[in-house]
């Protein structure tokens, strides 16, 4: 580890290299007293004022769920020198997810999601979302980059800088291209939590296909407008994807199609609720318990 330090009220964090990609820099920290690792998210000032993203994200320090990344008390306006380039910034100290994010796992092809593994992580995502929505929180930027793999290989929803509370009147962002619900591009959104349902459906598709998106926003893929097909000719949509993937008709079950289709309706009010998702046939298929998941993931990552 490097010897760069950030003082905290009770001890110090020894700061080392940058971690996974984010809109803000994230560094690895080691608590000198407990030898516990943390992730440190650094927010640059905005015109000499504390970052609005920092002020928004720290509102969610109260979240407490095994599938939500935990955040620690904040460090505000502290001078920190990391490789001689860190000006005054605001910081959040977060739970460290040692296995990176799902984007890295999918892009590197390190992990092949069979049906049971995909269902296990999808169920964890839905459990985390259910907790968020019960707390009146809409994430609004669910994507593989913001889904981390924590200790014991549990999925962790992270990055709440664009999230909103039920009583909020202003939408802070428009989500991320390819993963966002269509209504995030509009001027009105009656139920932000339904946008999370859509994004969770995109993630489900990615796991099933090993990283292939169901559609690419604003343009064609191999000459085909997949978004249009998904909404207007769903049977052709699935036929086209199977052709692109080089897979036979049994690669995607009817139960899977039904679940994905129900979550990604263009009209938000027509999408499946979390309760309906949890009652779906595909959701209730085989999945790994925590001990089985740890054994399976340890084996899979060791061989890749």
What is the pLDDT of the chain when averaged over all its residues?
A: 86
* This prediction's pTM: 0.90
Q: How far apart are CA 57 and CA 52, in angstroms?
A: 9
pLDDT higher than threshold 80 for residue 12: no
Spot the catalytic one: 141, 159, 161, 196: 141
pLDDT at site 1? 35
141 as an active site residue: the answer is: yes
116 or 46, which is more confident: 116
pLDDT band at 85 (very low <50, low <70, confident <90, very high): very low
Range among 18-32, 174-188, 271-285 rated most confident: 271-285
Q: What are the structural domains of the chain?
A: 4-95 (3.30.200.20), 102-302 (1.10.510.10)
pLDDT digits (tens, 9 = 90+) for 204-234: 999 999 999 999 988 898 899 999 999 999 9
């Amino acid at each position: 580890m490097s010897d760069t330090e950030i003082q905290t009220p009770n001890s110090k964090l020894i700061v080392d290299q940058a971690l996974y990609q984010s809109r803000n820099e994230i560094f690895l920290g080691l608590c000198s007293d407990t030898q516990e690792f943390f992730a440190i998210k650094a927010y640059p000032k905005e015109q000499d004022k504390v970052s609005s993203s920092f002020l928004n994200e720290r509102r969610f320090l109260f979240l407490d769920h095994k599938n939500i990344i935990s955040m620690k008390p904040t460090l505000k306006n502290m001078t920190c020198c990391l490789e001689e380039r860190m000006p005054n910034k605001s910081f959040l100290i977060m739970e460290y997810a040692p296995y990176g994010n799902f984007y890295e796992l999918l892009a590197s092809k390190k992990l092949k999601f069979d049906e049971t593994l995909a269902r296990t992580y999808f169920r964890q995502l839905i459990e985390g979302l259910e907790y968020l929505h019960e707390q009146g929180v809409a994430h609004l930027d669910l994507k593989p980059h913001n889904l981390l793999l924590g200790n014991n290989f549990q999925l962790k929803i992270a990055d709440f800088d664009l999230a909103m509370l039920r009583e909020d009147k202003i939408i802070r962002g428009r989500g991320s291209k390819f993963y966002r619900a269509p209504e995030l591009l509009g001027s009105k959104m009656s139920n932000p939590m339904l946008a999370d349902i859509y994004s969770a459906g995109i993630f489900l598709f990615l796991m099933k296909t090993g990283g292939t998106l169901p559609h690419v926003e604003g343009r064609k893929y191999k000459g085909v407008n997949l978004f249009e097909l998904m909404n207007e000719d769903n049977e052709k949509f699935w036929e086209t994807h199977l052709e692109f993937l080089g897979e036979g008709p049994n690669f995607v079950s009817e139960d899977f199609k039904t679940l994905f289709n129900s979550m990604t309706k263009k009209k938000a009010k027509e999408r499946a609720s979390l309760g309906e998702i949890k009652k779906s046939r595909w959701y209730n298929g085989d999945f790994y318990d925590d001990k089985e998941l740890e054994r399976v993931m340890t084996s899979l990552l060791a061989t890749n």
